[in-house]
Each structure stands twice: as structure tokens, then as C-alpha cells.
Structure 1
Amino acid sequence: MSHSLTLSESSSPRVGRGRLQLLLILAVVIGPMLLASAMYHWRFWVPEGRSYHGELIGGALSRADLGLPVLEESRWQLLVTAPGECAADCQQLVYLARQIHIGLGREAARGAHALATGSTPEDFAAQLAREYPQLQRFTLAADRYPAERGQAAQLWIVDPHGNLVLRYDADANGKQVLTDLRLLLKLSNIG
């Protein structure tokens, strides 16, 4: 009996140490996932800094949510929207989108620029046909355009799948938009 008592006494520390090792392994693997989930859910220890300049669009919004068709092509897009008439601020954003597209240099083939508006003044439509041959144009249905986006002209960066990524107001800084788009192209394997 003393022999079996000694045997069980010597195996007990091994079992205890094995359980401790298993718990430590689980804590190392599962702990960071639980911490990250808690940080996301309760918004603590989230850094305030960011590397983009526009408004980051979350919630998987797409071109279809703006009332626009989803395109088959797989390029990044600078999309100018104006639910009403394409007035001076809209026209400035169309010019800015083209300049940003040109500013991409050798990456320009991965991008495109487009205009979606409720209506376009006749003189500006003629100018678009003459000076903006690569500009894609769409009619924006005001009843499908989200009311919370307002009536002001806006510039959007749209990924190749048609998802809205970043949004800028009419007073957007072209260099900042170009920096954001270059970063997206650098990080992206699509488009």
C-alpha cells in the first residue's frame, strides 16, 4: 500500500502542473482575443490618432445605398455626388477628382473618376463632354439618396467592389485625398 500511495503522491504534482500549463496556453491564445473584443465593444484603450483625412464609412455601405448601379469593373473610384443640380461646389469637386486621378501617376490605371448628380447645367454638361472624356456619369435619384447625407456635393472613395470607403465635403484638400487614395492602393490587392 505504501508503494501505491507514493505513486499517487508523485503523479499529483504532474497532473497539477499539466493543468496549469494548459490554462496558461489557453490564456495566451484566448486572452488577447477577449481583450480585443472588449476594447472594440466598450471603446477603451482605442487610439485617437488616425492616418486618413476623410470620414471613414463603416457598416458596409455601397454605391447601391446611394441609388447608383454597381459596376462590373474592378477599379477604385473617386465619385462626386450632388443630389440636386451640379452647382459650383460640385463642379469644383469634379475638377479635383480628375486632378487626383491624374496625380496617381503610374497607378492611375487602378482608378477612375465619376459624377452622380440629379441634374447638370447645360453649359457644364458640354464642358464635361469636351474636357472630361474619361469621366463616368450617372443620374442620381434624389429619392434613393440617403437624406442624412444632405444636399451638398460630396467626394467619395469607392473600392473596386462598390463599397464606400471614405467621404469628403466640398472643401476637401486634394493633397490629403490623394494621400488617402495612395495609401488605400498600397494596402489593397484588388483593383
Structure 2
Amino acid sequence: MGAAMNPPNMSEAKSPPSRRKGRLQLLLILLGVIGPMILATGMYKFQFWVPEGRSYHGELIGNGQTRGDIGVQAQEDRWQLLVTAPKECSVDCQQLVYLARQVQIGLGRDAGRASHALAAAQPLNSDYDARLTREYPQLQRYPMDLTTFSKTTGDSTVPQLWIIDPHGNLVLRYEPTVKGKDLLNDLRHLLKLSNIG
């Protein structure tokens, strides 16, 4: 009689299905990790599934520009409401300076996380300068290089208000027509999302 048949090794019999199952699990894990990154990159590059609505009221900068790119050299480790005055600081500019201070006060318990400032390309008139010294003791003041400002913004006439993060990056820009409530809501939202400053 022929040799008795040996029963198949149980571990060998189970190997192919369990190996397939392991490969499938690894593939699913990789898809779970890499898939969202590929999808997000595609959405950004090809602009699909990008929501039309936005929750902010100013112009989002988001291109890596800093305070120095608008001609202002300063160090501040808090969020900043910076008013830029490329010409003399007249009615629109003065309104933005007032608004920046009011928004900072409106932050309530978070007021210490932000500051307000004015960067002017020209010296202020003596009356307004004296008023700022008297009524705006916490206002930081900086000189502004008009050539750098114009090169970056393309506009060397209109005063603007900027929200700048604690690293000095430009985040949002506002025209003189901005409403205080909209500005306050934007800054509150940024402070809520941020763990810096």
C-alpha cells in the first residue's frame, strides 16, 4: 500500500486568506490616511467642492505676506489691528483708528490678546497727534515705508485696517467702510480658533 497521506498543516491552510485580509487592512489604513490629503490637494488645485460661502468680512490675505511686506517694521506678540495711512490720516483713517480701539475693547476678557496700532507714511498733524497721545494711550505708532506699501497693495491712497497674527502674518484686510460688528466678529472667530497670542 502507498504511504499514508499526511493531513495538511493547519497554519499553511489558513495563511493565504489571513495574508489577504492583512493586506486589505493595510490598504484601507493607507487610504484612510493618504486619501484625505490627496482629496484636499485636488480640491485646492482644481477648485472643486470648494464652498462658495465664507464666514469672514474682510479680504483674506493667506499668501504668507507679513507686516514688513506693507512697509511696517514692528514686533508684536499679540494679534494686532493695524491701521495703515499712506497719505495724511484724515477722516477715514481717524475713523479706522477709533474702530480698532473700540474692537479691542469689545473683545472683553480677550482684549489682552490683541493690540491696536497706526502706521503712517507721513507725520500726523499736531492736533491729531496730541489727541492720540491724550485719548489713545495704548495705541502703538509706527512709520511706514510708502514704496514698500504701494508695491504690495497697489494702492497708495486709501487707509486700510489689517488683522495681523502674533507671528506678524497678514490675515485679513478691510476698507474704511467696514462695520465694527463685522470686524469684531472676525477677530473673535480668529481668537477662538487660535492657540497663539
- TM-score bracket relative to the smaller structure: 0.7 to 0.9
Q: 1:102 aligned to 2:102?
A: no
Q: 1:88 aligned to 2:94?
A: no
Q: Which residue of 1 aligns with 2:173?
A: 167
Alignment partner for residue 193 of structure 2, among 184, 187, 191? 187
Q: SS state of the match for residue 148, structure 2?
A: coil
Partners of 2:62 and 2:193 lie apart in 1 by 18
Partners of 2:166 and 2:86 lie apart in 1 by 23
Q: Which residue of 2 aligns with 1:56?
A: 60
8 Å contact from structure 1 (residues 114, 137) kept in 2: yes
Listed one character per residue, the Cα deviations across residues 132-160 of structure 1 (whole Å, up to 9, x for unaligned) are 11111111111121335212000001111
Instruction: Give the gaps of 5 or more residues in structure 2.
Output: none
- CA positional deviation for 1:13: 4.3
Give the partner amino acid of 2:55: S
Give the partner amino acid of 2:72: L
8 Å contact from structure 1 (residues 75, 160) kept in 2: yes
Among all aligned residue pairs of Structure 1 and Structure 2, give the percentage whose two residues are the same amino acid.
Answer: 59
CA 1:46–1:10 in 2, change beyond 3 Å: closer, same or farther? same
CA 1:28–1:160 in 2, change beyond 3 Å: closer, same or farther? closer
Task: Using the TM superposition, name which of 150-159 and 102-111 deviates more.
Answer: 102-111
Partners of 1:155 and 1:29 lie apart in 2 by 40
Task: Using the TM superposition, name which of 12-21 and 131-140 deviates more.
Answer: 12-21
What are the residue-to-residue correspondences of 1:30-45 with 2, within 5 Å?
30-45=34-49
Partners of 2:18 and 2:145 lie apart in 1 by 72
What are the residue-to-residue correspondences of 1:142-161 with 2, within 5 Å?
142-149=146-153, 150-151=155-156, 152-161=158-167
For the aligned residues, what is the CA RMSD?
Answer: 2.3
Q: SS state of the match for residue 115, structure 2?
A: strand
Partners of 1:100 and 1:14 lie apart in 2 by 62
Q: SS state of the match for residue 85, structure 1?
A: coil
Listed one character per residue, the Cα deviations across residues 88-117 of structure 1 (whole Å, up to 9, x for unaligned) are 111111111111111112221111110001
Give the partner amino acid of 1:100: V
8 Å contact from structure 2 (residues 69, 152) kept in 1: no
8 Å contact from structure 1 (residues 158, 166) kept in 2: yes
- CA positional deviation for 1:5: 9.6
- CA positional deviation for 1:178: 0.5
Listed one character per residue, the Cα deviations across residues 8-38 of structure 1 (whole Å, up to 9, x for unaligned) are 7875444444433333332232222211111
Q: 1:23 aligned to 2:57?
A: no
Instruction: Give the gaps of 5 or more residues in structure 1.
Output: none
- CA positional deviation for 1:170: 0.7
Aligned length: 190
